[in-house]
Amino acid sequence: MQEAKGLLSLNRIYRILKDLSINPSTESINKKYRDFSTFALRISVMFADDRLFDIIPRLETQLEIVRKYAPGVRPALDPYTSSQIGVFSKIDPDAEIGHFLDYPDCCIKSFSEKTRYGIDKSHIEELMKLPRQKGEKIFVATAGFIPCSALCKKARARGLVAILNRSEEENLKSLEGELSMALPHFHPEYQNHYYEIKRI
Ligand SMILES: [Zn+2]
């Protein structure tokens, strides 16, 4: 179901972090989180050192808000949480961070091979080539995620991009506003900005 995708996708990240917060063994981390085990191990050590004590309650607040709005696309993970666990720090390989965030391999590969900054001209060109649909539409992507193609089916299936009716724009903007109010943080690029939204 389209509406549940944003919530399901955020809930997956929450469940991983919750699991890492209860001191799983290295062996189980390696087994369960094979695609991002270095990153997951580092997070579990930070939890054990009590350096991430405030992120689980923040994510629970984020989930509660996201549940109310039922967006078809996942908003960016709480930027404070992302900073604390090292998503932006470049310590771990991009591919591990990408797998943790459930980005598809095709998108991880295109991000590492081409230098792309957000939704760019070629994404827009792909969208412009689509047969005209009824009504005005918006293209929505999770902020920080750069799809290999605006039409990437895997990214769509994972609730990272979608083409939605323009009426959905208000809903997403309200969600962004409520998240900003409830979960203040200091990341300059993610102030009131949990989605990339382009009118098409
Ligand atoms: Zn892709």
Name, in order, each residue with C-beta under 8 angstroms of 78's C-beta and a sequence gap of 6 or more.
Answer: 55, 58, 59, 62, 179, 183, 185
Q: What is the pLDDT of residue 68?
A: 96
Q: What is the pLDDT of residue 178?
A: 97
Q: Rounded to the nearest whole angstrom, what is the distance from the C-alpha of residue 195 to the centroid of ligand 1?
A: 17
* Ligand 1 centroid from CA 151, angstroms: 8
Determine the pLDDT at residue 1.
47
Q: What is the pLDDT of residues 97-137, one digit of tens each?
A: 999 999 999 999 998 888 888 899 999 999 999 887 778 89
Predicted confidence at residue 176, as pLDDT, reads 97
What pTM does this model have? Answer: 0.94
Q: What is the distance in A from the centroid of ligand 1 to the CA of 57?
A: 32
- pLDDT at residue 92, rounded to an integer: 86
Parts of the chain with a pLDDT under 70: 1-3
92 conformational bin, left if phi > 0, alpha if psi -120 to 50, beta if neither: beta
The alpha carbon of 60 and the centre of ligand 1 are apart by a number of angstroms equal to 29
Q: What is the distance in A from the centroid of ligand 1 to the CA of 105?
A: 7
